[in-house]
Amino acid sequence: MSAIAPVCQLLERHDPARYRGWWRVAPPLETNLVRAGREAFWSSNEAVGAAFAARDQRVHIGIDAPEEKGEGALLFWPKSHALGIWWLETLCRWLAPGTPIEIVGEHQGGVKRVPKVLEAHAMPCERIDNARRCSLFSSRTVAMPEGGDGWSEFEALGLRLASHPGVFGHGKLDAGTEMLLERLGEEYAKRAPATALDVGCGDGVISAWLARAGSRVSALDVDHFAVVATRRSLALNGLPGEVAAHDMLQGVEGRFDAIVSNPPFHQARDIDFGPARRLIEMAPSHLNPGGRLYIVANVFLPYRAPLEASFERVDTLVEDGRFRVYRAERPRPKRR
């Protein structure tokens, strides 16, 4: 089967044996990358890592470096330029100076800026391929001073929040999330849910807001940068909460009085309704009777139909031409 992702189509032009013993870092969810037996993958994304683990590959999931170093690293340049720099510097700190490293990415995703990034880090640069509107660059790691972990803090809604490149919003409050929480304040004034689950927790602003409002909070995100950010945000505000890595509600146990989410709808640069649809379909089985799902979405996203297919009652609480806040309620059992 031919690769789907353009960067992987470019890599198919090269002998996979050249990467034997290398780590493939921040790869896309493209199982065609498995080409030469058992290979090593390092991802911060729980779903991506699980997909490669299911193919019997050697997988490291998280943002801390693996204990076992490789003979080289193939870095898939992310759409967040700052995150790409973080990965590059992290690889330099992890691997011995002079270790071969290659960087591949799409032109529209910013990989054309890589030569300047390498120059700024006093790293050699050679473009070794260019196809499918992608480029592949070759370099070698250099000694990198400690520090520069990428973490920062900002304030929003009276909360102190942690942020990192690649985490949704990164350093500012998303307008849709702000609308959701403003409307949720009116809901909490009527009835504060005892337990709440924040799905796709990002920097943790929803989790921290829910915990401050009195709910016992659990939070999840598919990406480990977000998991760590939410833990940091809760700690910064002295708030309790449990945070774990999950692909939406897959593997989540228990029921909640409220599920709150600003669900993702992008896969790289493409629109992907899949995660939000899975959340909507699975939410009723994770809500207590009378429990409610609150989500905010761009108005063009077709979420009402799946919401009505999964819930008996769906209300639009507010919209402003850009965003829409939905409330879907699991009915209570009828008395006999």
Residue 122 predicted with pLDDT over 70: yes
Tell whether 12 is covered by a domain.
yes
Angstrom distance (rounded) from CA 11 to CA 7: 6
* Shared-domain flag, residues 322 and 228: yes
Instruction: Specify which residues 323 forms β-bridges with.
Output: 298
The DSSP annotation for 142-178 comes to ----S-----EEEEETTEEEEE-TTSTTSSS--HHHH
Residue 70 predicted with pLDDT over 50: yes
Tell whether 1 is covered by a domain.
no
pLDDT band (50, 70, 90) for residue 128: very high
Q: How many domains does the structure of the chain reveal?
A: 2
Tell whether 335 is covered by a domain.
no
Domain that holds residue 22: 6-140
Share of the chain above pLDDT 70, in %: 95
* Shared-domain flag, residues 59 and 189: no
- Terminal CA-to-CA distance of the chain, rounded, Å? 57
Stretch 269-273: mean pLDDT, rounded?
A: 60
Residue 140 predicted with pLDDT over 70: yes
Angstrom distance (rounded) from CA 106 to CA 104: 7
- What pLDDT was estimated at residue 6? 92
pLDDT band (50, 70, 90) for residue 1: very low
Q: How far is CA 140 from the centre of its chain?
A: 28
Q: What is the CATH number of the domain that holds 206?
A: 3.40.50.150
* Shared-domain flag, residues 80 and 108: yes
Q: How far is CA 304 from the centre of its chain?
A: 24
Tell whether 104 is covered by a domain.
yes
4 contact partners, CB below 8 Å, separation of at least 6:
30, 32
The chain-wide mean pLDDT, for the chain, equals 93
